Amino acid sequence: MWTHRHLLGVESLSAADIDAVLDRAETWHALCRRTEKKSTVLKGRTIINVFFEASTRTRTSFEAAGKRLGADVVNVSSSGSSVTKGETLLDTAKNLEAMRADALVVRHASSGAIDFLASRIRASIINAGDGAHEHPTQALLDAFTIRRSKGRLEGLVVAICGDIAHSRVARSNAILLGRKGAMVRLTAPRTMLPAHAETLGPTVRVMPRFEDAVRDADVVMMLRIQNERLAGAMMSTTREYSRTYGLGPVALAKAKPDAIVMHPGPINRGVELDPHVADGNKSVILDQVEAGVAVRMAVLDLLLTGGNHTPSDALSSRP
Ligand code: ASP
């Protein structure tokens, strides 16, 4: 039973909710691999993407997801909108809602901005990343990618490495993976570790030494330094950071032989990730991107239909 109207963060999702999204995403993943990637599940619905921060993967995949489900999708970005004329976030959202939007997919630089909207807007609100707070669909697509690669989440050792303090991806992943029984190791220079990082979940541990976190890990997830949140001031030099916290073949050899390497993108090649590793056979980075469309289809489907239909109907005859 799906009961949520909004997706504000993974914090409000139970283990069963997470399974519901991942299971439904399997169907949509199969649809996306067909020549005709189209369903009519959201025919007649309107989804508006409202992005107040830069995005390549999230915005495009929400657009593709809505269109593949048959909805009408409209994109608004802050640079071309009346936000530049001084309109508030709430006024912008209320105006879009007045156009009878069924869902607003919102990205904003301020942590908490999406929760603020959700309590004031009737349309479904989906958090596409708010400040350093949450990025729920990224964590869901990461879980989907891990589950497809490893067959499970429970009991896996996942090392999350880099700018943990400013990363909404790290926060959402630590909460979700912990809730699904994975062992989460967080590693970063001390200045990039939030105070109380271990309160993110009972299976979350902080390991200041990069090598310790990567040793025998099943999954190594690398993060970009969030320069837009002034994280650059929290390290000595990029070269020094890269030498101590960058993932190259030597560090990766300490992980399990069948370990996978993940990154939410955008990658800063040669900083947190050696290009040979980014493009190597352990990298599932482009699988994450593919999963992003299917998982966002599952989220839109569940939020707007309540899941009250059989998605496999969408996969009838044609390959
Ligand atoms: N794309 C991810 C985000 O929006 C990760 C990043 O930007 O580093 O949080």
Nearest CA to ligand 1 atom 4: 129
d(CA 131, CA 108): 6
- Is residue 171 over pLDDT 70? yes
Among 111, 135, 173, name the best residue to mutate to test ligand 1's pocket (greatest count of ligand atoms within 8 A of Cβ): 135
SS3 159: strand
Phi, psi for 145 (deg, rounded to 5): -65, -40
* The one-letter amino acid at 239: R
pTM across the whole model: 0.96
Looking from the CA of residue 167, the nearest atom of ligand 1 is: 9
**Can you name the residues that pair with 283 across neighbouring β-strands?**
261
- Testing ligand 1's pocket by substitution, the residue of 110, 138, 221 carrying the most ligand atoms inside 8 A of its CB is 138
Taking the CA of residue 138 as reference, the ligand 1 atom at the shortest distance is 2
Burial category of 85 from C-beta neighbours within 10 Å (exposed 0-12, middle 13-18, buried 19 and up)? exposed
Quote the strand ranges of the chain, DSSP E.
Answer: 46-51, 72-77, 103-108, 124-130, 157-161, 183-187, 204-206, 219-222, 260-262
* Pocket lined around ligand 1, Cβ cut-off 6 Å: 129, 135, 168-169, 224, 264-265
Q: Confidence class of residue 85 from pLDDT cuts 50, 70 and 90?
A: confident
Answer whether 246's CB lies under 8 Å from 162's CB: no
Alpha-carbon separation of residue 225 from 30, 127, 137, 158, 222 (angstroms) = 34, 21, 20, 19, 10
User: Considering the chain, what percentage of its residues have pLDDT values greater than 70?
Assistant: 97
CA distance 221 to 184: 10
Rg (CA), the chain: 19
**pLDDT number for residue 234:** 73
Q: Which amino acid is present at 144?
A: F
Are 72 and 46 spatial neighbours (Cβ–Cβ below 8 Å)?
Answer: yes
pLDDT digits (tens, 9 = 90+) for 219-248: 999 999 988 877 777 777 899 999 999 999
What are the residue ranges of helices labelled H in 111-167? 113-118, 136-150
Tell me what the mean pLDDT of segment 69-84 comes to. Answer: 90
Q: Mean of the per-residue pLDDT values for the chain?
A: 94
Confidence check: pLDDT of 69 > 90: yes
Nearest atom within ligand 1 for CA of residue 135:
9
